[in-house]
Amino acid sequence: MRKRFSLCKKVGVFLLTAVMCTSQLNVQAEKKYDFETEYQVVAGANGYFIAKNQKGEYGLLDREGEKAVGFDYSEMEFPKDTMQYQYIKVKQNKNWGIVDYDENPLVPLNFEKVSEYSNGNTIAAGYNGNTTYLYDLKGKEQKKQLTGSGSYSVISDTVFWGKEDIRNEKDNTLVKLEENSLLDKKKNSLAVKVGDTHYAVQKYTTQLTGNLETDQNIEVYEKDEKTQDILPEEEWVKDKDSTVKGSLKLIKAVSDKNIIADMQMDDGFKVIYNIEDGQSTSKYKSIGEFRDGKAFAVDMDNNIKIIDTSGKAINKNDIEVADCG
């Protein structure tokens, strides 16, 4: 009887040891990652860190080293607006998608590229082939799709920037999203993207500003809303008593708040216009290509100047001509 008890006791100890070992294995399986030796931190936001392990695989960890998103991705990026949105863009097997911090898919991981939620938007996009698919903040695919020969990035929930025309349903503006261009309903009309949320649009409508008549002007939009009309200034006309017809032509954006506009008339000139303060620079006969925020320009007296993206002249003694290429 004593021997049987001794045997049962040994079996019990064995089973208890086995349970403890199994429990220990489970604890080890959920162990925290060592910040210093097991991976390289790439970026951080909201108390989470994108990390790369020794195999070159990317994952997401919290500040305690706990794994939030597994190390199964070849690339991983936080969105630009990390304070408002808590998700990451991920790449796997050459395909991109978007997942939240619990690894729930918001945009399926089967796209050539994705356009993230940003600037208060509730829509993100995934591009594959000739179709761009749209998804809300919960990962629900929208019925509306954008078809064409290129991908679309999201300006707002109704305005998209890409290579084909898509109707802005709010104001029925046709937006051509190739290289910052926009199409008018009746004729081709240029637009340029200015920063993340603004774009300037060439409009063909005859207007009278004081004594100056123009058949082209420029409109500025922030997402879906028009914020201002850019019209020629009356002082640009030499003869204040006569009506002169000219056109204010949109050229391109040179920064996230400045555009070049060309006043096309007998004595035409170019100005750089700031969409934030509504001010334009001095007149220039020509403005060259900007490199590193600087460009050559010829003023109305045929003097060559070096200007910055705001149109202000830079002191020649402070800069080498070679710096502008």
CATH topology of domain 39-154: Lipocalin (2.40.128)
Q: Is the pLDDT of residue 189 over 50?
A: yes
User: In the prediction, which pLDDT does 312 show?
Assistant: 92
Q: How confident is the model at residue 185 (pLDDT cuts 50, 70, 90)?
A: very low
What is the three-class DSSP state of 239? coil
User: In the prediction, which pLDDT does 155 show?
Assistant: 79
Q: How many CB atoms lie within 10 A of CB 211?
A: 13
User: CB-based burial of residue 100 (10 Å sphere; 0-12 exposed, 13-18 middle, 19+ buried)?
Assistant: middle
Q: Is the pLDDT of residue 148 over 80?
A: no
Which of residues 316 and 125 earns the better pLDDT score? 125
Which of residues 173 and 253 earns the better pLDDT score? 253
Mean pLDDT of 79-83: 86
Read off the DSSP letter of residue 288: -
Helix (H) or strand (E) holding 27: helix 2-29
Mean pLDDT of 130-150: 82
Q: Using DSSP, how many helices (H) and how many strands (E) does the chain show?
A: 1, 31
pLDDT tens for each residue of 237-280: 776 666 777 888 999 999 999 999 999 887 789 999 999 999 99
Q: Is the pLDDT of residue 144 over 60?
A: yes
Which of residues 231 and 234 earns the better pLDDT score? 231
Inter-residue contact 109 to 90 (CB < 8 Å): yes
What is the three-class DSSP state of 207? strand
Cα(314)–Cα(308) distance, integer angstroms: 7
pLDDT tens for each residue of 16-44: 344 334 333 333 334 465 555 677 888 99
In the chain, the largest separation of any two C-alpha atoms, in whole Å, equals 125
User: In the prediction, which pLDDT does 162 show?
Assistant: 66
Backbone region of residue 209 per phi and psi (left: phi > 0; alpha: psi in -120 to 50; beta: other values): beta
Full DSSP string of 2-25: HHHHHHHHHHHHHHHHHHHHHHHH
Least confident piece of the model among 19-23, 59-63, 120-124, 182-186: 19-23
Which of residues 223 and 188 earns the better pLDDT score? 223
- Exposure string over 277-315, b if 16+ CB within 10 A, otherwise e: eeebbeebeebbebeeebbbbbbeeeeebbbbbebeebe
Mean pLDDT of 187-201: 77
Helix (H) or strand (E) holding 222: strand 212-222
User: In the prediction, which pLDDT does 177 show?
Assistant: 44
Q: Of the spans 61-70, 74-83, 146-155, 232-241, which averages the highest pLDDT?
A: 74-83
Mean pLDDT of 86-103: 93
Interacting residues of 149 by C-beta distance below 8 A, sequence separation 6+: 130, 163, 164
User: In the prediction, which pLDDT does 175 show?
Assistant: 52
What is the three-class DSSP state of 234? helix
User: In the prediction, which pLDDT does 83 show?
Assistant: 84
Count CA within 13 A, CB hemisphere, residue 158.
13
User: In the prediction, which pLDDT does 269 show?
Assistant: 93
> Which pair of tokens denotes residue 194?
């200015």
pLDDT tens for each residue of 3-12: 443 434 443 4
User: In the prediction, which pLDDT does 163 show?
Assistant: 58
Backbone region of residue 73 per phi and psi (left: phi > 0; alpha: psi in -120 to 50; beta: other values): beta
CA distances to 86, 233, 240, 247, 262 from 244, rounded to whole Å, are 55, 12, 9, 10, 16
Q: How many CB atoms lie within 10 A of CB 79?
A: 18
Least confident piece of the model among 154-163, 165-174, 224-233, 286-295: 165-174
Which of residues 140 and 82 earns the better pLDDT score? 140
What is the three-class DSSP state of 324? helix
Cα(286)–Cα(284) distance, integer angstroms: 5
User: CB-based burial of residue 133 (10 Å sphere; 0-12 exposed, 13-18 middle, 19+ buried)?
Assistant: buried
User: In the prediction, which pLDDT does 322 show?
Assistant: 47
pLDDT tens for each residue of 280-299: 999 999 999 999 999 999 99
Q: How confident is the model at residue 211 (pLDDT cuts 50, 70, 90)?
A: confident
